[in-house]
Copies of this chain bind each other. A is one copy, B any other.
Amino acid sequence: MKQSRGARTIVFPTPVFIVGTYDDAGKANMMAAAWGGICSSRPPSVAVSLRAATHSHGSIVARRAFTISIASESYVTEADYVGIASGRDVDKFAVTGLTPVHSDLVDAPYVSEYPMVLECRLSQTVETDLHTIFIGEILDVKAEDNVFDENGRIDIERVRPILWAPDGRGYYGVGEHLGEAFRIGRKLMDES
């Protein structure tokens, strides 16, 4: 029997995107955002929603660029911190001891220590009452040598990203492998 939980933003899993930008003063900044995901395969694009009140919001509008770094689970404290502190008040790279790297493709920094990054050029913005949806064209995905598998693909089990669960507010790691996409469902196709 299903119970109502109301009109709320609860879905599982949500990602923990570490959004990298340069502010007006040219200072590298980063924030955590869980409202987002891939939104198009052509051009390859990712959406991330930020409130206008955030320091990062103005930076994306001004530079028309952002990065999304994926933190591995050993950086969960830093990932949480950059979601609660504001780049208006502090230098989050200095506080966390993380290193900003200037993207050579877009005017935004990414996190050197994190295993994976998407470099994005702002292509569209969509307004809702509270959030601006920033749609970025993914110009490149870069990842550390040691997170590629033997087929040259980026392996989630080596990246070890963080998931977020909105209603309970917990962070989680990635669990066991359940099956191969576009493959295990074929069982049902053959039967039908």
Contacts and interface: CB of A to CB of B under 8 A. Distances in A.
Copies, count: 2
Interface in A30-77: 34-47, 49, 68, 70, 73, 76-77
A85 to B, nearest CB: 6
Given A13-B156, A38-B14, A181-B164, A172 B171 contact: no
Contacts of A70: 11-12
Nearest to A170: B177
A134 to B, nearest CB: 10
A150 to B, nearest CB: 11
Nearest to A132: B40
A174 to B, nearest CB: 5
A173 B94 CA distance: 35
A7 B155 contact: no
Contact of A4 (B8, B130, B140): B140
A189 B131 contact: no
Interface in A134-174: 135, 137-145, 148-149, 153-156, 159, 161-174
Interface of A: 1-15, 17, 34-47, 49, 68, 70, 73, 76-85, 90, 95-96, 116-118, 124, 126, 128-131, 133, 135, 137-145, 148-149, 153-156, 159, 161-189, 191-192
